[in-house]
Structure 1
Amino acid sequence: MGWLIGLALFVSGGLSAAAAPDTPRVAAIDWGQVQTLIAIGAPPVAMAQVASYGDWVGGPAVPDSVRELGLRVQPNMELLSQLDLDVITITPMYENSRARLTQVAPVESIDVYYHEGSAWDNTVDSTRALAKLVHREAAAERFIESTRAEVEQLAQRVPADTQPLLVVQFIDARHVRVFGDDSLIGNVMSRMGIANAWQEETNFWGFALVPIERLAAIENARMAVVDPVPVGVPEEIAESVLWQHLPAVRDQAVLDLPAVWSFGGLPSATRFARGLADAYDRLASGAAGDEFGGLP
C-alpha cells in the first residue's frame, strides 16, 4: 500500500512540475518594465543601457546575468537575434521599433501613461500585464500590495504641517521638469498627504518643462530636487540670483531626492516615497544639505 501512495505522490508531483510554466525569455526596452520584472522575480534576459538605468532609475539592481542591448532607441539587433527570445516588451514610446524587433521575436507593448486613468492605477495595470506575460501573477499581487503598504507607512514620517512641495528635475541650469498631480510622483505625494504646489498644465507624462523663472510666482512651497543633476548645474545655480531668490528656495531648505524613474514602475513609487521620508527626517534632525541653496 505504501508503494501505491509513493507512486501517487511521484505522479502528482511530476504532473505539478510539468504544469508549472517556464518563465519566458524576455528582452525589455523600457526601464520601467525592467525594474518591474526584476521586482516580481522575473528579470529580463536583456535590456538597454544598463549603466544609465543605474543613474536614472536607481533600482532595483540589475542582475549580472542580464545582457546589455545598447541604446533603447536602437538596440543591438544582432545580439537580440542570438538570445532565443520568447518576447520583447516595449511601450508606445518605442512603437517605431516594432517592425525591426518583430523580426527577432513577438513584441508586446504594455503602456503606463498612454490611456485614461491615474498614473498609479496605470502602473498597477502594467505590473499585472507584465506579470501575466512571465507567469508571475501571484508575485505581482504581493508586490502591488506591499507597495501600497510601504507608501502608507512612509507617509507616517511626513510632518503633519508640511508645506506644499515643488518637485523638479534639472534639465540645465535654467530649465526644469516640474511634476504635477497627474504624474506618478504626484500620485505618490497625494497618497502621502503632501500637497503639490504645481497646479499648472502638464504633458501626458505628468510634468511640465519650464524655465525656472516660471516658479517665481509660487509662494508657500518647499523645493525638492530629484537626481541626477547634470554636470556643472549645482555650481551654476549656486551663483544664480534667480534660483536663489525663488520663494521655494529662498525661505527654507531644499530637499535633495535620489534618482527616480518618473515614467512608470511601482519600484519608482516606493523609491520616491522612501527618498521623501528620508529627506524629511534629515530636515527634522537639522542635517539637510545646502547643495541647492535655501536655509540650512
Structure 2
Amino acid sequence: MISKPWIGCIARRLVLVAGTVGAFVTAQPVMAEETFTHELGEISLDTHPTRFAVSNWALTESLIALGIDPVAIPEADGYRAWVVEPKLPESFIDLGTRREPNFEALRDAKPDAILISTDVAMAHEKLSGYAPTFVYSIYNTGSNEPAIDRAETLLRNVAKLAGKPDAAEDVIASVNARIEAAAKRIRDHVGDDAKFAVVRILDESHFRIHGKTSLFGSVLGRMGFANAWDGDVNGWAFHNGDVSDLAKMGDVQF
C-alpha cells in the first residue's frame, strides 16, 4: 500500500507540492559575490541564476517545486510518462538523454547555470564552458545517508543558489506534514510494529526491492516503520531480486 511507480533519483516526495511555493523568477537578483559549494568544489557568483538547465528529472522536479521553470530539460517524454507530477513548463528546450546531453541544444537554451548529478560529472568541465555547472546528487554518492535527507539537502542547495532559501523550507515542511499524516493513516490500519517490503514488480518473477536508504525506504523510516529488506542494495539503494528473496522476509506488509 506504500509502493507505487517511481523513477530516477529525485526525491519525488519533495516535489508533489510543486506549484504551491514561490513564483517563476524572471530577472537575476543582484547580490554581493557569494560562493556556492557543490560536489566538485566551489563557484563564486555575483548574481543568482534564473535560467537553469538540468541533467535529470530529480533536479527538474526540485526546481519546479521551488517555483522555477527550467529552460532545458532531458527526456521530456519520459518525464511525462514516469514522473508525471509536477507538470513540466509549457516552454523549454529538450536536452536529449539524461546520460548524453545535446550540447547544441544546451547552447541554444542560454542557461546562466547548469545543474547535474554525479552520473554525468565526467562532463563537468565541458558543461562549464556553457555556464557555471553545479553537481548535486541523491544517489551514487558513496554515502549511506537516507535518500530523503539527501533530497532535502539538494533542494536547499538549489534554493540557495536561486536566492529562494525560504521556498525550500516551505516545501520541506509541507512534505513532512504529508508524511506524518500518511504514517497515521497506515498505523491506524496495521499498528506500530508492522514490517514492510517496498517492492516494484518488474515481471512475473523479478522484483525491485527498496532498501532502507532508498527514497521509499527512507520515507518509510521517517514514518517510523521497519523495512523488511536488510540485504545488499545497489547505488540507487534497491535490490534486483526474485520470489525467493520475498520468501526470506517472512510475514510482512507487501
- Tell me if both proteins adopt one fold, taking TM over 0.5 as the criterion: yes
What residue is the counterpart of 1:206 in the other structure? 237
Q: Which structure features the higher share of strand residues?
A: 2
Paired residues of 1:42 and 1:136 also in contact (CA < 8 A): no
Secondary structure in 1 aligned to 2:227? coil
SS at match of 2:131: coil
CA distance in 1, matches of 2:29, 2:166: 19
> TM-score scaled by structure 1?
0.64
Task: List aligned pairs for 1:111-130, cutoff 5 A.
Answer: 111-113=137-139, 114=141, 115-130=143-158
Structure holding more helix per residue: 1
Asked if residue 72 in structure 1 is aligned to residue 78 in structure 2, the reply is: no
- How far the C-alpha of 1:67 sits from its partner, in A, is 2.2
- For structure 2, the residue ranges without an aligned partner over 5 or more in a row are 1-27, 32-46
> 1:178 pairs with 204, 209, 227, which one?
209
User: What is the deviation of 1:19?
Assistant: 4.7
Letter in 1 for 2:199: V
How big is each residue's C-alpha offset from its partner over 1:112-131, in whole Å with a ceiling of 9 and x where there is no partner? 23135322221111111111
**Alpha-carbon distance in structure 2 between the residues aligned to 1:137 and 1:157:** 31
Unmatched segments (≥5 aa) in structure 1: 1-16, 224-296
Counterpart for residue 92 of structure 1: 118
How far residue 72 of structure 1 moved from its aligned partner, in angstroms, is 0.9
CA distance in 1, matches of 2:30, 2:98: 35
Give the aligned partner of residue 152 of structure 1: 180
Letter in 1 for 2:146: S
Per-residue deviation, 1:164: 2.0
Change in 2 beyond 3 A, CA 1:73/1:18: closer
**CA distances 1:24-80 after superposition (whole Å, capped 9, x unpaired):** 211011211110100011121111011211222232111112321111112221111
The answer to whether the 8 A contact 1:48-1:69 is kept is yes
Give the match for residue 89 of structure 2: 63
Deviations, residues 133-185 of structure 1 (Å, cap 9, x unaligned): 21111111111111111211222211442542211123443322100111121
Q: Give secondary structure in 1 for the equivalent of 2:201.
A: strand
Give the CA RMSD over aligned residues. Answer: 2.1
**Structure 2 counterpart of 1:86, one-letter code:** D
- 1:126 is paired with a residue of what secondary structure? helix
| 1:31 corresponds to which of 24, 46, 57 | 57
Alpha-carbon distance in structure 2 between the residues aligned to 1:60 and 1:206: 24
2:134 is the alignment partner of 1:108: yes
| Contact 1:23-1:42 at 8 Å conserved across structures | no
Percent identity of paired positions between Structure 1 and Structure 2 = 32
Given the alignment of the two structures, is residue 217 of structure 1 paired with residue 248 of structure 2, yes or no?
yes
| 2:172 partner letter | I
